[in-house]
Amino acid sequence: MKLAFIVDPLDEFKLEKDTTYAIMLEAAARGHALYALQQHDLAWHKLNVTGYAARLHLTGETSAWYRLDPPVETPLEQFDAVLMRKDPPFDMEYVYSTYLLEIAERRGAKIYNRPQAIRDYNEKMAIARFAEFTAPTLVTRRAALLHGFLQEHGDIILKPLDGMGGTSVFRVRVGDPNVNVIVETLTGNGQRTIMAQRYIPEISAGDKRVLVIGGEPVPFCLARIPKAGETRGNLAAGGTGVARQLTARDRAIAETLGPHLAAAGLLLVGLDVIGDYLTEVNVTSPTCFREITQQTGFNVSSMLLNSLEKLV
């Protein structure tokens, strides 16, 4: 197959933990042709969506790990599949890219994850679709509601709806002298909508990344355990990743959501589960393949390629 990857700059990849690189390695090992492009390489040109895509060759080295042929403007439907692997932030440029990809889809391009589904499943708000699995949650920009939620639950998490990697996530308890300024800062004095969730003490055992591929759960998750003195388990915030088998609850959540996610065109999803509660549904560029594979021997990239090959 000819596979096009829409990615961040290749020189920014951290090979030891980069999921996109792991997928590329598996695809190349199966003989598939790889192409790379970035968001700015997409264009609606002469009534068609094209990408200035460069053939990508993996060298097997750790420093100069790739070689690129000169980019060629190519209609996206000429690829067997296009994998959208651009990291957040999910800003308007990201939204514009999904519009372009959706036009390409109508001309026959196969895009994963599906652009409309990426827009529809905001990574924080998507849990509202599956409220039976969530902890008490509030979404608002009204300070009075946020203060009331804090008084009701005593210990809460506040976070923006468009962050990643634990950015701007705050734990707030009743009596915290900084609560007013935290609420004002996160909401921009009432101009931005944020999420509040009841604090889940089981975060000490890890914020679990449960991967769902083609509607089916990967049998292992990665528990991201916060470092000492930290609330956030995100690896980007210094958390330690420990692979574990799914619990019965993890599997129940993943198996319930899986068919809905697959039907929406979401080939790869990363569910965040703390204790028994679903906290996020990650659809832009879910990670943790490398850590799970290295610690368990289960080849997550192979599961993804198996699913992708069946689809296309």
pLDDT tens digits for range 1-29: 999 999 999 999 999 999 999 999 999 99
What are the structural domains, with CATH classification, of the chain?
A: 2-120 (3.40.50.20), 136-199 (3.30.1490.20), 203-311 (3.30.470.20)
125-152 residue pLDDT tens: 999 999 999 999 999 999 999 999 999 9
Q: Which of 232, 234, 250, 291 is catalytic?
A: 232
Catalytic residue among 159, 198, 208, 290: 159
Among 293, 284, 208, 213, smallest CA distance to 247 is for 208
Out of 105, 114, 282, 290, the active site residue is 282
Question: Is 55 designated active site?
Answer: no
Residues 6+ apart with CB under 8 A from 298: 218, 219, 220, 292
Exactly one of 85, 86, 124, 198 is catalytic; name it.
124
Q: Record the pTM.
A: 0.94
**Residue, of 294 and 89, whose pLDDT is higher:** 294
Is residue 169 pLDDT above 80, yes or no?
Answer: yes
Q: Report the pLDDT value the prediction gives residue 139, as an integer from 0 to 100.
A: 98
- What would the mean pLDDT of 291-302 be, rounded to a whole number? 98
Which pLDDT score is estimated for 163? 79
**Mean predicted confidence (pLDDT) in 80-102:** 96
Tens digit of each residue's pLDDT (9 = 90 or more) over 213-264: 999 999 999 999 998 777 777 777 678 999 999 999 999 999 999 999 999 9
The span from the CA of 248 to the CA of 86, in Å, is 32
Please provide the average confidence, as pLDDT, over all residues in the chain.
Answer: 96
CA distance 91 to 232: 23
Question: Is residue 272 flagged as an active site residue?
Answer: yes
Q: Which of 162, 280, 290, 291 is catalytic?
A: 280
The amino acid sitting at 119 is R
Confidence class for position 309, pLDDT limits 50, 70, 90? very high
Q: Which is the catalytic residue, given 209, 250, 290, 291?
A: 209
Question: What is the mean pLDDT of the segment spanning 197-225?
Answer: 97
pLDDT for position 165: 75
pLDDT for 162: 86
Least confident range of 26-30, 106-110, 162-166, 213-217: 162-166
Mean pLDDT of 280-301: 97
pLDDT surpasses 80 at 166: no
Cβ neighbour number for residue 120 with a 10 Å cutoff? 16
| Cα distance between residue 52 and residue 40, in whole Å | 9
Does the CA dihedral 114-19-162-51 come out positive or negative? Answer: negative
Q: What's the confidence (pLDDT) of residue 235?
A: 75
282 is catalytic: yes
30 is catalytic: no
pLDDT > 90 in the chain, percent: 91
Assess whether 119 carries a catalytic annotation. no
SS3 11: helix
Peptide bond into 113 cis (omega under 30): yes
pLDDT digits (tens, 9 = 90+) for 44-82: 998 999 999 999 999 999 889 999 999 999 999 999 999
- Among the listed residues 224, 234, 250, 291, the single catalytic one is 224
56 token code pair: 């990508």
Active-site residue identified among 26, 272, 290, 291: 272
